[in-house]
Amino acid sequence: MNIYNKTTDINLSSSELSELIGDIYNTPLTGKWAEVLDKIIAVTQSNKAFFFLQEVEPIKPLILEFQINFDYSRQALQEFQIRHEEDPFKVATALAPEGEFIDCNEIVDISLIEDTEYYLNVLKPMNTHYVLAGILCRDGIHESAFIVNRSKEQLPYSTEDKNLIKLLIPHLSRAVQIFKTLELYKNYANISKSILDQSDKAIVVCDENAKVILSNSFANSKLADIEQVYFANDILKLSNAVYNKQLHQYIKHCSSLSFNQISSQETIIIDDFIDGENILLTVSPLNNHNKMNNIDVPCCMVTISFQKVLNWSLVEREFSLTNKELQLLKAIYSKKKLNELTSVFEVTYNTLRTHLQAIFKKTFVNSQTELMMKLNMFKS
C-alpha cells in the first residue's frame, strides 16, 4: 500500500510526511533520534515523547531518548523513572505484540486513577494524561517502544493524530531493525565494514538484478552448504521457483527506492527445515544518500537469518493450551498484530486480548517480552 495516498487522514502534507519518514530512516546512521522526537512532538502537539531500545536479559539500554517541552520537577522525573513499573499505561502495553499501536486511554480509564497516589505524585506533575504508544520490537532478545503524551489540560488525541502515529510505527520499527542489524557506531568508516562484521546472519548486498555486490563471510560459507538459498554466477537465488520469483521482485522494488528517502521491508519465510531451522529473508533498500555508504548503484540489502523452529507440540502440552490459544500464540510469535487477527479469528480485539491474557496466565509471564523469552526456550 502506498502510504502517501493516505495523507488526507493525518495532519501532514505529503512532502512533510516524506521528510519526516526520511529523517526516521536516517537516525540509525546519524544517531539523531532526539530530533525526530522533537518533530513528532511538534506535529502531534504532545508535551513529551519517549523512544527506547534495550536488550532484555539482562537489561542493557542501547538507545534511550526522552524529549520534553515543559518545565518539570527533577524529583517528579526521578519518581517517574524509578516507579515506571507502577505506571498503569505501561501495564496497558504489556500484552501488545511487536508492531502494535495502542491508544492507552482506551484500556486505562483515567477517571478511575486520578485520585490515586501514583497519579497525583507522578503522572500529574509529569503532565501525563493522554498516552499513545507503539511497540517497535519484542522478540525476547530486544525490546523497543515509542510513546507520546498530552496533559489533562490539552485535548485528547484526534483521529488524525492517531493515524499519524499508526503510520509512523512500522517506519520507526524498521529504523530499529536497521540499527540492530548494522550495529553502526561512530568508528565505522562505511557500511561495507558493518556488513562484513556480521557473524550470526548472512548479509548480501544486491543490485536490482539480484547480482551480488557484497556479501559477508557468514553468507559465503553458509550458502555454500545449503540448497534452499545459494549463489549462481554471482546471482542470489532460491531453489523454490515461486519464492525465487518473489525474492527477485522484492529486490528490484527495494533497489528502486535506494536513491530516495522512502524505505520498505519485504519478508520471505522458508519453512523447509534445515537441521531444525527455518529461513527468514528480509529485503530493504540501501540508502545511497549518506556518508556511511560507498556503493553508488541502485541496490538493496538482503538479510538471511536461520532460525530454530519452535517445538509447538511441547509448548501446547507444557502449558495446557487450547487449540485456539495455540493458534493465537503462533500468530503472535510470527509478528502478527492483534488488530490484524480479528478477521482471521472472527472475534473482537478485546476478545483476543482476553485470550492473550489467558495465555499469559498459563505461561506464567506478565508481558509480551517475557512471553517471547519463554517461547525461545522451546526452540528445537
**Cβ atoms of 135 and 97 closer than 8 Å:** yes
- pLDDT for 254 beyond 90: no
338: CB partners within 8 A, 6+ apart = 96, 97, 100, 349, 352, 353, 356
Q: Give the single-character DSSP code of 9.
A: G
Work out the widest C-alpha separation in the chain, in whole angstroms: 70
CATH number of 312-378: 1.10.10.10
- Quote the pTM value: 0.64
What are the pLDDT digits (tens) for 93-140?
988 889 999 999 999 999 999 999 999 999 999 999 999 999 999 988
Query: Is the distance from CB of 108 to CB of 89 less than 8 angstroms?
Result: yes
122 exposed, middle or buried (CB, 10 Å; 0-12, 13-18, 19+)?
buried
Ranges in the chain annotated CATH 3.30.450.270: 3-182
Cα 94 to the center of its chain, rounded Å: 15
What residue ranges of the chain are covered by domains with CATH 1.10.10.10? 312-378
Nearest CA among 375, 356, 316 for reference residue 141: 375
What single DSSP character describes residue 265? Answer: -
* Spatial contact of 145 and 119, defined as CB atoms under 8 Å apart: no
Amino acid, single-letter form, for residue 12:
L
Topology given in CATH for the domain delimited by 191-308: Beta-Lactamase (3.30.450)
How distant is the alpha carbon of residue 362 from its chain centre? 26
| pLDDT of 287 strictly over 80 | no
State the cell numbers at 46: 504532545
Nearest-angstrom CA–CA distance, 371 and 348: 22
Residue 55: beta bridge partners?
60, 142
Task: Please write the tens of the pLDDT for every residue from 10-53.
Answer: 778 888 888 899 889 888 877 788 889 999 999 999 999 999 99
pLDDT at 273: 58
Instruction: Determine the 3-state secondary structure of 341 from DSSP.
Output: helix
Torsion of CA 170, 173, 174, 177, to 10 degrees: -160
Residue partners of 271: CB distance under 8 A and separation at least 6? 278
> What architecture does CATH give domain 3-182?
2-Layer Sandwich (3.30)
The band of 300, judged by pLDDT with boundaries at 50, 70 and 90, is confident
Specify the residue for cell string 522525573: 77
Cβ atoms within 10 Å, residue 252: 17
